[in-house]
């Protein structure tokens, strides 16, 4: 008897992109750019001092066994705003876990704003996501990550799925921020439980590591609290001096509501740097 043919192995996508920027004639410009596989980087023309970069995953999403790696280097005195072309989609997996890693280095006097659009987790999706940031003593960093549990307009729910989000931010070699979010869902009621998200299906975390004095940081926190009044969100300042950080956490019933609440907060931290056009409502 002829043995049955083995099922063909699923094709995996692997992408890696690197962007390094430098200060030149009063502006921030590309120093090095490398892209491989399904990872692409575009730098649209802007008229501000900050360079805007848009990261693209041409495979359309991540599923089990896929990998996507981004490396960012902000040279001395530069200003960069990095975002993504679209929301990242984490599709149903047959068992393997997709991996996405972002590594950033921010040199002296530089500012880096890491502002990707939301990640959408589909039912059965599995993702390990990691953010590693190394800051010079006077560097500035603002990082944002959002997570959507299924597309509301499509009537999707997430009953099963694995997600692990790991943040490690260091200043001058010292660990100043560590954050791990991990869940392994097996029932549709887990996310909707009162102790979890309740009626909400979108969450976001913003972390700002700014070498500002306590008075300036407290003023920023106060402004954030005014902007977040009436939302399911909060803001805190932790620490003082060069290692101080401001953390914003927000939950909302939909991506539209989240963006409407979050955009003024992002603009507050951006200051005179322009909001990426892909973030427009």
Summarised one tens digit per residue, pLDDT across range 185-232 is 876 666 656 556 767 889 999 999 998 888 899 999 999 999 999 999
Is residue 164 a contact partner of residue 128, using CB atoms and an 8 Å limit?
Answer: yes
| pLDDT tops 90 at residue 48 | no
Distance CA 235, CA 161 (A): 28
pTM of the entire structure? Answer: 0.91
| pLDDT tops 80 at residue 128 | yes
Q: Summarize the confidence of residues 96-107 as an average pLDDT.
A: 96
Task: List Cα–Cα distances, 101 to 9, 129, 165, 168, 193, in angstroms.
Answer: 24, 6, 10, 12, 30
Q: Summarize the confidence of residues 229-245 as an average pLDDT.
A: 88
64: helix, strand or coil: coil
Token digits of residue 208:
């700002």
Q: For residue 225, give the H/E element and its range.
A: helix 214-227
Domain ranges of the chain: 15-279
279: helix, strand or coil: helix
Mean pLDDT of the chain: 89
Query: DSSP characters for 135-169?
Result: E-TT-EEEEEEEEEES-GGGT---SSEEEEEEEEE
Q: Are strands 174-185 and 161-171 parallel, antiparallel or unpaired?
A: antiparallel
Q: Give pLDDT, residue 10.
A: 59
Q: Give pLDDT, residue 188.
A: 61
């Amino acid at each position: 008897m002829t043995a049955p043919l083995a099922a063909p192995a699923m094709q995996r996508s692997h992408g890696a992109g690197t962007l390094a920027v430098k200060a030149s004639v009063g502006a921030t410009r590309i120093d090095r750019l490398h892209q491989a596989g399904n990872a692409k980087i575009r730098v649209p023309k802007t008229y501000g001092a900050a360079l805007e970069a848009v990261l693209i995953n041409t495979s359309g999403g991540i599923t089990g066994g896929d990998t996507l790696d981004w490396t960012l280097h902000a040279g001395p005195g530069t200003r960069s705003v990095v975002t993504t072309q679209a929301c990242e989609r984490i599709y149903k997996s047959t068992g393997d876990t997709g991996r996405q890693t972002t590594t950033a280095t921010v040199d002296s006097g530089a500012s880096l704003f890491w502002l990707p659009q939301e990640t959408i987790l589909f039912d059965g999706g599995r993702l390990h996501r990691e953010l590693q940031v190394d800051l010079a003593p006077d560097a500035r960093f603002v990082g944002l990550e959002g997570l959507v549990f299924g597309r509301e307009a499509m009537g999707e729910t997430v009953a099963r799925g694995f997600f692990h989000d790991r943040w490690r931010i260091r200043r001058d070699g010292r660990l100043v921020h560590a954050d791990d979010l991990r869940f392994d869902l097996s029932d549709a009621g887990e996310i909707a439980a009162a102790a979890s998200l309740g009626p909400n299906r979108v969450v976001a975390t913003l972390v700002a590591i700014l070498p500002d004095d306590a008075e300036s940081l407290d003023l920023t926190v106060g402004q954030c609290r005014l902007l977040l009044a009436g939302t399911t969100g909060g803001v805190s300042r932790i620490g003082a001096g060069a290692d101080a950080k401001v953390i914003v956490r927000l939950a909302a019933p939909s991506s539209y509501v989240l963006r409407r609440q979050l955009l003024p907060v992002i603009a507050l931290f951006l200051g005179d740097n322009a909001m990426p056009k892909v973030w427009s409502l």
